[in-house]
Structure 1
Amino acid sequence: MKVTTRLVCLGFFLAMLTSSQSFAGDITFDAVESKHWLTVNDNVMGGISYSHFTYHQGYSTFSGYLSLENNGGFASVRRLISPDFSAASSIKLIIKGDGRRYQFRLKTHNLYEGAAYVAEFTTTPNQWQTVQFSEADFSPRYRGKALSSMPALNFSDAMQVSLLIADKKAGKFKLSIKSIQLLQSI
């Protein structure tokens, strides 16, 4: 009996060591959190895309219309980071999309204005899914072009988080998000 109890305890302890855990820095979408997000679309450069960020019970939705007219082609929603991402070893998003390709972006003080570290993901239509990123999954970009000679991303340098669509396909889009979880390896 004592051996079995010790093995169960040892198994639990080993499982905890090899797993990642979320912590207090998570961003969970509610009515208050959703107000911290700002939409920025290609109309800042003459485009005519539009987007909204709205709260629903338990999640927020980034939706709108992507237009390629007038050299446009992007829509985004962003917020300054509060909480601090420095303790994260990976970031997990719980999202539901429309089958389109999106970008999860982090801005840091190491990059110039308009540039960001980008990790892309494709959604499965109308299904909640989890996507997870480590620092190595992000690459520095400026207006869709890769930047060379830039330092690798360090989550502790992140100042702003955003979601962006720029998949070169005109039409409606919709991405719902329940949370951004900061995972810490232990």
Structure 2
Amino acid sequence: MIYQDFCSKLKYGLALSVLLFPLKGIAMNIDLSLPLSDEQVEVLTDASERELGKSGGGFFFQNNIRNPHYLFIGHIDPQPNGAGFVSAWISIDTQWISDNTFVKIDVEPAPGDDFQYQVILQPEGVDKEISYIASFNPSNQKHLYQFSVNDFIPNYRGRVLTDVPKLKGNRLKKVGVRVVGRLGDDTFQKGPFALKLYQISVE
């Protein structure tokens, strides 16, 4: 009887801990030294989303013997107002997001590439055109960048949003990278870009 009571309380305690602390999650690592399935990857550009778009790009596995990786490559050809983008999304098993969640991305730009890039997240229950972004300017060598959940800003076509759900307490379903043509009111970027990606993790 004592053993049965103990087991019952233990099961109750475990169930209660799952209910009270569901955001703990398990670290999710995308090893980009291995090929992903076609169903996992989606590349979007202003040319694929809008009639007047001219930018293009791709996300390709490079089976380099010494250092296999994915290559995010393309060109940005924005409209006069700066509208233009290339995104590479990776679908993942849903991942809880908490205050302690960090996103890490291990990348290396091509020689001479001075583009600003964005890490992009998409949680469940949010319109597919809305993404949460954190920007970075890669150095000229391989580097691991780390972002807290508070570094990500909800964004819709270059506009910051304030009336959308927070990342914290939500489930993440997609991660990716993006290049945009307009960085600010009078700051633009255009031309070819190339970024090697070795790993993305959410932990």
**Structure 1 residue runs of 4+, over 4 Å off?**
none
Q: Which one has a bigger Cα radius of gyration?
A: 2
- Aligned CA distance change for structure 1 residues 182 and 48 (closer, same or farther; 3 Å): same
Question: CA–CA distance in 1 between the matches of 2:194 and 2:35?
Answer: 21
Q: Is the CA contact (8 Å cut-off) linking 2:35 and 2:61 kept in structure 1?
A: no
| Structure 2 equivalent of residue 55 of structure 1 | 61
TM-score, normalised to structure 1, is: 0.76
2:176 to 162, 168, 184: 162
Question: CA–CA distance in 1 between the matches of 2:199 and 2:163?
Answer: 32
Q: Which amino acid aligns with 1:115?
A: I
Question: CA–CA distance in 2 between the matches of 1:114 and 1:144?
Answer: 11
Name structure 1 gaps, 5 residues minimum: 1-22
State how 1:57-96 maps to structure 2 within 5 Å: 57=64, 58-69=68-79, 72-82=83-93, 84-86=94-96, 89-96=101-108
Question: CA–CA distance in 1 between the matches of 2:57 and 2:30?
Answer: 21
Q: Is the CA contact (8 Å cut-off) linking 1:34 and 1:60 kept in structure 2?
A: no
Question: CA–CA distance in 2 between the matches of 1:128 and 1:34?
Answer: 25
1:164-186 deviation line (CA, Å, top 9, x unaligned)? 10043110001110001223xxx
Q: Is the CA contact (8 Å cut-off) linking 1:96 and 1:177 kept in structure 2?
A: yes
State how 1:28-177 maps to structure 2 within 5 Å: 28-33=31-36, 35=38, 36-43=40-47, 44-45=49-50, 46-56=52-62, 57=64, 58-69=68-79, 72-82=83-93, 84-86=94-96, 89-97=101-109, 98-125=113-140, 127-154=141-168, 156-167=170-181, 168-177=188-197
- What RMSD over aligned residues (CA atoms) do the two structures have, in Å? 2.2
1:122-158 deviation line (CA, Å, top 9, x unaligned)? 1113x10111111101111100100012232127421
1:93-120 deviation line (CA, Å, top 9, x unaligned)? 0001222111111112343231111111
Q: Say which SS state the counterpart of residue 85 (structure 1) adopts.
A: strand
- Paired-residue identity, %: 25
| Structure 1 equivalent of residue 201 of structure 2 | 181
Task: State the number of aligned residues.
Answer: 159
Q: Is the CA contact (8 Å cut-off) linking 1:74 and 1:166 kept in structure 2?
A: yes
Name structure 2 gaps, 5 residues minimum: 1-25, 182-187
Q: Which amino acid aligns with 2:32?
A: F
